[in-house]
Amino acid sequence: MKIRSITLTNFRKFVGTVSVDGIGDGVSVLVGRNEIGKSTILQAINGVIFEKANSTSQRVKGFRHFVNGTVPEVEMRFDLDGVNWTIRKRFAGQPGRAFLTSSDNRRFEDEAAETQLQRLLGFSAGRSASEPGIWGTLWVRQGGSLGAIGLDDQARRTLQVCLEAQIGTVTGGARGQQIPDAVETALGEIMSTRGPRGRFKEAKDSLDEATKRITELTDKRQDLFTHMDDLAGRRRELQRLVADWDEEENRREIATQRDAATAAATKAAEITSARTAAKLAEERAERSRAAFEARTKLVSEV
């Protein structure tokens, strides 16, 4: 099989459609800065081949965008035995769809597409996920090159036939007797009755520490995506406010408010002056009343 192109739509961190085209027959290298999405593209290739479109597993649910939760789609073109094939899957749980078409006008949909793809590439479907078959020996995911290879019965038989043809030359004679001893010695250097030791223990401790660190970074990444989504919403709101802003109308409104404020200040000054005058009048009236009462008293006395 030769992969020719891969197209992702709303897959994990990608919003919208992202494509990698023009993949030739030679070695293809995908280059980009950290967290740009290289591993995500490889995960999409693995998913469109080995995962079913209507799967409800947590692994397939993880294909959805971290924040938006949109339904992901993946399309891949590949050549096999002189025929160009296109596989497209929409990972939507039970309503998921799968389409497989060929350059010689063959078309398969949904379960028929999944079955034909398994037949073409030689792997089988299990309960929770597809077994990659012999592809498990060749298809190495990021971080999985040192792990155990998951092989189904067909893949094991294929390897067994290949190994049996060569095993006699490796294990025959005295050289063959040295192999179990060397294996036992090497195993004793990294394992004891109490568990891992030496380099194996150091590597295991490092792995545990790295796993803990990954968990912390994953939480931080989720928080970052949440903040980014909030920031995007605020930016959209700012753009809406800027689009609705009328500078000339704002100036006229400010001038109107300024004139109203000036008129109010003038009226307030007039009211204050009137109050002062009224107070003075009251004082004069009070003095006049006191003088009148004094004169009335004098007249009475006279």
The pTM of this model reads 0.48
Tokens of 62: 């993880």
Count CB-CB contacts under 10 A for residue 52.
22
Contact between residue 13 and residue 65 where contact means Cβ atoms under 8 Å apart: yes
pLDDT at 170: 59
* Band (217; pLDDT cuts 50, 70, 90): very high
For residues 170 and 52, the model is more confident at 52
Beta-bridge partner residues of 87: 76, 100
Q: Is the pLDDT of residue 89 over 50?
A: yes
Q: Which residue has the tokens 């280059």?
A: 31
From 13, 98, 12, select the one nearest 50 (Cα to Cα).
98
Domains assigned to the chain: 2-131 (3.40.50.300), 172-244 (no CATH)
Contact between residue 51 and residue 126 where contact means Cβ atoms under 8 Å apart: no
Residue 61's identity, in one-letter code, is K
User: What is the Cβ-side half-sphere exposure of residue 127, based on CA atoms within 13 angstroms?
Assistant: 0
Give the SS3 label for residue 266. Answer: helix
Distance CA 123, CA 49 (A): 10
Residues 6+ apart with CB under 8 A from 190: 196, 197, 198, 199, 200, 201
Contact between residue 152 and residue 123 where contact means Cβ atoms under 8 Å apart: yes
Give the SS3 label for residue 173. Answer: helix
The 10s digit of each residue's pLDDT in 234-279 is: 988 888 888 877 888 888 889 999 999 999 999 999 999 889 989 9
Q: Is the pLDDT of residue 90 over 80?
A: yes
Contact between residue 129 and residue 59 where contact means Cβ atoms under 8 Å apart: yes
For residues 65 and 9, the model is more confident at 9
Contact between residue 94 and residue 21 where contact means Cβ atoms under 8 Å apart: no
193: DSSP letter:
T
Beta-bridge partner residues of 128: none
Q: What is the mean pLDDT of the chain?
A: 84
Contact between residue 63 and residue 129 where contact means Cβ atoms under 8 Å apart: no
Count CB-CB contacts under 10 A for residue 167.
12
For residues 143 and 58, the model is more confident at 58
pLDDT at 54: 92
pLDDT at 127: 47
Tokens of 293: 């009462």
The 10s digit of each residue's pLDDT in 155-189 is: 666 666 666 666 655 565 566 667 777 888 888 88
Instruction: Tell me the torsion sign for CA atoms 54, 58, 64, 70.
Output: positive
For residues 136 and 61, the model is more confident at 61
Residues 6+ apart with CB under 8 A from 116: 100, 108
The 10s digit of each residue's pLDDT in 26-46 is: 888 888 888 888 888 888 998
Render 114-151 in DSSP notation, one character per residue.
HHHHHHHHT-EE-SSSEE-GGGGGT---TT-TTS----
The 10s digit of each residue's pLDDT in 114-141 is: 999 988 887 776 544 555 554 555 555 5
From 46, 45, 67, 63, select the one nearest 54 (Cα to Cα).
63
